């Protein structure tokens, strides 16, 4: 890492400001040339004209210097905030390149921070995860990993496993000191405990996939119950056609939205009823398919008319084992519906979608339902990605083999080999092993400038 790298750290396109980042041991020299400030005060912002190699003023900028060992990358760094005009950005970049700087590879700033031991691999991946997070929950979990939430658990697990390995190796080094069956059982118990800790971490991967994946919520019910009006209320604009004519929605309409911490694919479906119209019948069939796929069903009923008997057959055949929120719409009209024929449900909400009354209650009910479905606990607050999960699975398998070897044969030598392999896999998670190919692949998925 002897060369100095540069990249634009803000998205391309016209903007008020753009940030250009540099990292490397020529940052001070560049400051002296471009800003005529040979001895900048670290972490102090300067307002200066940026002068190119020919001495021409390109732009008035704010810049800040970070000294070696006290920056994100662990090297000298320079951050320049210029106006966000692409011509200005390009002119500054071209000038910097003429001074011997090269364009950074994707993720190279973060990779340098990792190689300088400013962060570990889990924290490096957390940075990429924060940038690409699709929900506030994912961003929060990623931030916890950046703060060391997962790393501290891994380090504690490593410490326990090293203790286990030291006890096993004691049996290998001093075979004449037979410590008895109780000590052997104690080691097996300790391996089982380490294995359980790894399993708890790896199981968080599956729980998080459900928590962070897009939840499909289907609005279903009879024609003209107000599904499309409610859909538009939840989406925030008129995405679905609303009409007093029955059967207006012939096919489902979907929209991705965020409901509190959850990513949701909200689907407005065709009304459930028997119809001789071929197109409407196809729409009803599509509705049944959406019900089958849905994580949550919102059954929208018109409270101003009796409960539609034709719904019962659909509910009996398709709603089995589905979470249901029942919405009694049109509560601004005289109530005629009876709830003694309702299917089992998570809750019942009374609203007037036309008047936007009760929408916040539905949002709250959806949130509670999804929270209950994902059963958040202390372990769910760990974000495990696929790479980390794969290492955990391999580590778990090696510990399982070690336990079997000791239980069946008291084979401490082979058991120690398996425990070391398990420790190697755990080390891969935080980046304590020298795997250059893995690092190159991992950081290549980062954005340029980070």
Model pLDDT for residues 249-260, shown as the tens digit of each residue: 456 788 888 888
How far apart are alpha carbons 49 and 60 in whole angstroms? Answer: 4
Q: How many alpha carbons lie under 13 Å from residue 28 in its C-beta half-sphere?
A: 11
Confidence check: pLDDT of 419 > 90: yes
- Percent of the chain topping pLDDT 70: 89
Number of domains present in the structure of the chain: 3
Interval 296-325 mean pLDDT: 84
Give the CATH number for residue 30: 3.30.1360.120
Domain hosting 332: range is 215-374
Same domain, 29 and 69: yes
Same domain, 262 and 321: yes
Same domain, 99 and 140: no
Are 7 and 73 within 8 A, CB to CB?
no
Are 447 and 127 within 8 A, CB to CB?
no
Does any domain span residue 313?
Answer: yes
Give the CATH number for residue 312: 3.40.50.300
Same domain, 236 and 361: yes
pLDDT at 61: 96
- Residues with Cβ < 8 Å from 80, sequence gap 6 or more? 19, 20, 21, 22, 50, 61, 62, 63, 92
Same domain, 150 and 268: no
Does any domain span residue 442?
Answer: no
How far apart are alpha carbons 344 and 269 in whole angstroms? Answer: 21
Does any domain span residue 379?
Answer: no
Confidence check: pLDDT of 31 > 50: yes
How far apart are alpha carbons 130 and 109 in whole angstroms? Answer: 16
pLDDT at 283: 74
Interval 99-111 mean pLDDT: 93
Q: 379: pLDDT confidence band, cut at 50, 70 and 90?
A: very low
Same domain, 141 and 59: no
Same domain, 168 and 249: no
How far apart are alpha carbons 108 and 51 in whole angstroms? Answer: 27
- pTM for the structure as a whole: 0.73
Same domain, 369 and 271: yes
pLDDT at 87: 95
Cβ burial of 310 (10 Å; 0-12, 13-18, 19+) is: exposed
pLDDT at 51: 94
Of 374, 394, 410, which one is at a domain's C-terminal end?
374
Q: What is the DSSP letter of 309?
A: T
Are 391 and 428 within 8 A, CB to CB?
yes
- Residues with Cβ < 8 Å from 14, sequence gap 6 or more? 84, 85, 86
Does any domain span residue 248?
Answer: yes
190: enclosing H helix or E strand: helix 181-212
Does any domain span residue 128?
Answer: no
Same domain, 231 and 263: yes
Which of these ranges, 32-41, 176-185, 265-274, 414-423, has the smallest mean pLDDT? 176-185
Same domain, 102 and 237: no
Confidence check: pLDDT of 293 > 50: yes
The 10s digit of each residue's pLDDT in 425-444 is: 999 998 876 667 667 767 77
Does any domain span residue 11?
Answer: yes
Look at the block and give the residue holding tokens 């001895």.
39
Same domain, 227 and 189: no
Look over the chain and give the mean of its residue pLDDT values, rounded to a whole number.
85
Confidence check: pLDDT of 410 > 70: yes
Does any domain span residue 443?
Answer: no
Does any domain span residue 440?
Answer: no
Same domain, 190 and 150: yes
Query: Roughly how many angstroms between the first and final C-alpha of the chain, as a whole number?
Result: 16
């Amino acid at each position: 890492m002897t060369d100095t790298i540069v990249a634009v750290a803000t998205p391309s396109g016209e903007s008020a400001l753009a940030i250009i980042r540099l990292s490397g041991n020529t940052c001070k020299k560049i400051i002296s040339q471009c800003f005529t400030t040979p001895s900048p005060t670290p972490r102090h912002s300067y307002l200066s004209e940026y002068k190119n190699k020919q001495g021409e003023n390109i732009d008035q900028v704010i810049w800040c210097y970070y000294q070696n060992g006290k920056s994100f990358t662990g090297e000298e760094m320079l951050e320049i905030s210029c106006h966000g005009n692409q011509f200005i950005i390009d002119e500054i970049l071209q000038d910097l390149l003429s001074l011997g700087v090269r364009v950074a590879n994707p993720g190279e700033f973060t990779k340098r921070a990792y190689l300088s031991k400013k962060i570990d691999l889990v924290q490096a991946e957390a940075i990429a995860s924060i940038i690409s997070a699709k929900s506030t929950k994912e961003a929060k979990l990623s931030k916890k990993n950046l703060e060391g939430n997962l790393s501290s658990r891994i380090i504690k697990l490593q410490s326990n496993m090293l203790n286990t390995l030291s006890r096993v190796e004691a049996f290998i080094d001093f075979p004449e000191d037979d410590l008895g069956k109780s000590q052997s059982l104690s080691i097996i118990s300790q391996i089982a405990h380490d294995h359980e800790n790894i399993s708890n971490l790896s199981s968080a991967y599956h729980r998080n996939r459900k928590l962070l994946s897009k939840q499909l919520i289907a609005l279903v019910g009879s024609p003209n119950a107000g599904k499309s009006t409610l859909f538009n209320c939840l989406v925030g604009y008129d995405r679905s056609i609303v009409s007093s004519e029955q059967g207006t929605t012939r096919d489902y309409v979907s929209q991705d939205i965020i409901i509190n911490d959850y990513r949701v694919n909200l689907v407005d479906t065709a009304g459930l009823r028997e119809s001789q119209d071929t197109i409407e019948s196809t729409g009803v069939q599509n509705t049944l398919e959406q019900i089958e796929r849905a994580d949550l069903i919102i059954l929208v009923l018109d409270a101003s008319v009796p409960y539609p008997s034709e719904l019962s057959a659909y509910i009996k055949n398709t709603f089995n084992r589905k979470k249901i929120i029942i919405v009694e719409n049109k509560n601004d009209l005289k109530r005629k519906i009876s709830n003694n024929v309702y299917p089992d449900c998570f809750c019942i909400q009374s609203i007037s979608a036309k008047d936007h009354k009760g929408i916040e209650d539905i949002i709250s009910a959806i949130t509670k339902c999804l929270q209950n479905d994902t059963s958040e606990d202390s372990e769910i607050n760990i974000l495990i990605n696929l790479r980390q999960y794969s290492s955990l699975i391999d580590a778990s398998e090696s510990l399982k083999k070690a336990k079997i070897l000791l239980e069946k044969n008291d084979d401490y030598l082979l058991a120690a080999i398996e425990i070391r392999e398990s420790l190697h896999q755990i080390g891969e998670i935080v980046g304590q092993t020298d795997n250059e190919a893995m690092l190159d692949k991992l950081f290549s998925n980062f954005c340029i400038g980070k």
